[in-house]
Chain A
């Protein structure tokens, strides 16, 4: 049955190549609003479903791109294992392929690593309809170039992901979440100091007025003894209070799924802007027409800002991000105004060479431009 699906994919891709047509790869379509808008005909990965291999003691799961991420997480949970990068779902239909192609990670990213860090191997179909396999299912593998890891974050602009093997991890033995009030710059300072010490720091979120006070929530995860002693230390040092487990779970889930009231109260003419920044980036002064209330995740390396959904705000925030060694993405926008959602490579002088390589690389995987949706610049 899957073979038929694959030959349909191949036909669709080859036909598109012949017709000079662009195809928009789609999984659950839970986030068609993420990335530059694209109106190309759809190649749906949903028919290509199933968990192909899962050996808990190997810490690896292999599944088809159209498999729902909820199904994957539930089979892992039965074995007390997790996807350590905590992918958000944004609806029941989210697929494994979509999660990988989006390449994003949730609250634990700062301690667990990026999604691409966990990708071990992929099977994909390129723009000629060729069925290719790279990497594998083992922890260490340096045979050939690491093509698999080009897929995370490629948003369907490089190749069609058919299957992937990802590393999973045991669920931490213990977790605890703590909360206290503090200013943004104190939070940045203390989080970075603690990250340099052997503490079981797993996630952090600071929510408040960029220039003033806010609320810091910290999640600890690891061995029981380590969590207990770190939790005690934070209570003593910061007067932090421990959240009860259900309250903590709800908070981290709502943060991950962007269901906190801060997200849902965004006015229609605003966009949700995401800044990805180096660890030493200080508190940033918010541009005038942006909301002073912000969210900082990943010990300050990921910052969420709400501001007008237009090119001039994009330019101002982009400049701010680049000036501090980071970059900007327009993550979510309800506005119909068309503007650049991602940092373009040519906005940084050092990336001209990078852009040339990327262009040739895309051409080699997709010579007829079947996947050039422009969703990623």
Chain B
């Protein structure tokens, strides 16, 4: 993936490294600045292990003042900075830059304040997503967005990816659950976005900061909204003997005016893979399994379960089971929650895609993916946030075989292009990072991409904060357009090539 560096390049990197380390040492403790390869190697990639780079150095500050000093020093030296939370990102957003510093927020682990009366918590960015819910459980509250990685991922990473999870259909994404963010800009300015009030003066820059993939500011403090824990949750597990019927049932539930607390789907290959792993008692003959959760007061849940049941029956579900206890509910969910590790057991590697489409096209996309499996000679598991139309095809491959990895990448790209074609997007929650930067050229035109650069420049005029991620340059898209000649037909033949 990377060409080996020449000895002149290595020397120049070492010289840069020495200058950077000297500049940062004065305000960081000895163990908070790493540059020896054996210390920095754990930082060479995030959750997308197929893309790796060694950084010049890694800094682990523990307070905002140090962050300010680090950024000022890097700005003065022209050294790019890549922020990092827990490194669970799946698009290479926290992957280092060879000539740059990785700034880890791992030491920002304090929950600064919990106020049950105003239903808010003030936390540092390195706090794990699940740790917030655990800390406020005694007040009957929780933090709603629940990415599957919630035991590990940081709230700072969530803010920068606008992460979602099973509960986002009803309770919203990170965007809907964050009130205020404090961040340090590349020039060292400390800025607050949003407030504890329902709105704040000026343009809504908080909305832009959320999901900005570490490219606009280093997030140092976050105020999140907490919501009351529902008294009860129950889940319906419904089988369909046809993917199309399953897809239609998703649309029908929403059309009936129901917003379930979770609405997730698994296809047959996934069900088989997870059943072997978790023994949840899934229906192995079903082509699609839907999990529809209802939460609220016991009366509310009873009413909603009955309504969902009626819709599912009408849509031709072949088997319907409703959880009768909390243990059973968790058992029904266990397969969905363990789908990724289960995929890891049946194939050497898997490549997790993340596109969103209008709900009514779920069956169409699943059928097209079937065709692509044959085309690329690779298997694919489908388990996803059906209620949001957020698809997560898991392409199975063997990373030891470069040709298989290449085919997996092509397969993934074709899925994303299909998502755009069906009226959707190339990423619903994992971000663009380095992984989907070429697909951005498919979804956005040149003028939009230029305006994205304008947004970036408004926060970071020197383009030093996590550059080369998320927003492709003009050149990159021109290059990409040249590369993607499929079936001898050049896409957009009317356009001039560089």
Contact = CB atoms under 8 A, between A and B. Distances in A.
Interface of A: 55-60, 80-81, 103, 109-110, 113-114, 116-117, 126, 130-134, 136-147, 149-150, 152-154, 158, 169-171, 173, 192-193, 195-200, 222-226, 228-229, 276-280, 298, 301-302, 325-327, 342-345, 350-358, 360-365, 377
Contact of A137 (B228, B358, B431): B358
Given A146-B210, A147-B451, A169-B259, A360 B297 contact: no
Given A130-B447, A198-B231, A226-B297, A138 B428 contact: yes
Interface stretch (B13-21, B250-258, B325-333, B367-375): B250-258
Contacts of A141: 356, 424-425, 427-428
B444 interface: yes
- Give the 3 A-B CB pairs with smallest separation, nearest first: A364-B454, A225-B299, A170-B257
Contacts of B185: 353, 357
27 contacts: A57-B255, A116-B207, A131-B447, A136-B423, A138-B389, A138-B425, A139-B389, A143-B440, A145-B455, A146-B175, A149-B207, A171-B257, A193-B117, A198-B296, A225-B299, A276-B199, A277-B197, A279-B117, A280-B118, A301-B197, A326-B196, A351-B201, A355-B202, A356-B189, A357-B191, A361-B455, A363-B458
Contacts of A377: 201
B471 interface: yes
B211 interface: yes
Interface centre among B231, B255, B440 (most CB of A within 10 A): B255
A192 B461 contact: no
Nearest to A297: B198
B495 to A, nearest CB: 18
B423 A138 contact: yes
Nearest to B470: A144
B127 interface: no
A326 B197 contact: yes
A142 B141 CA distance: 27
Interface string B297-321: 1011011100000000000000000
B172 A327 contact: no
Given A55-B360, A140-B164, A361-B454, A302 B198 contact: yes
A223 B304 contact: yes
A146 B210 CA distance: 8
B337 interface: no
A56 B360 CA distance: 11
Given A117-B172, A142-B161, A143-B425, A351 B198 contact: no
Contacts of A55: 358, 360
A106 to B, nearest CB: 12
Nearest to B230: A198
B298 to A, nearest CB: 8
Contacts of A301: 197-198
Contacts of B196: 278-280, 325-326
Contacts of A152: 204
B359 interface: yes
A360 B461 CA distance: 9
B155 to A, nearest CB: 16
Contacts of A302: 198
B198 A138 contact: no
Contact of B197 (A116, A131, A325): A325
Contact of A158 (B115, B203, B448): B203
A195 B257 CA distance: 24
Interface in B203-219: 203-205, 207-208, 210-212, 216
A170 B169 CA distance: 13
A273 B115 CA distance: 28
Interface in B378-404: 385, 388-390
Interface in B434-465: 436, 440, 443-444, 447-449, 451-452, 454-459, 461
A195 B252 CA distance: 31
B273 interface: no
B133 interface: no
Given A153-B204, A276-B197, A357-B185, A196 B141 contact: yes
A139 B359 CA distance: 9
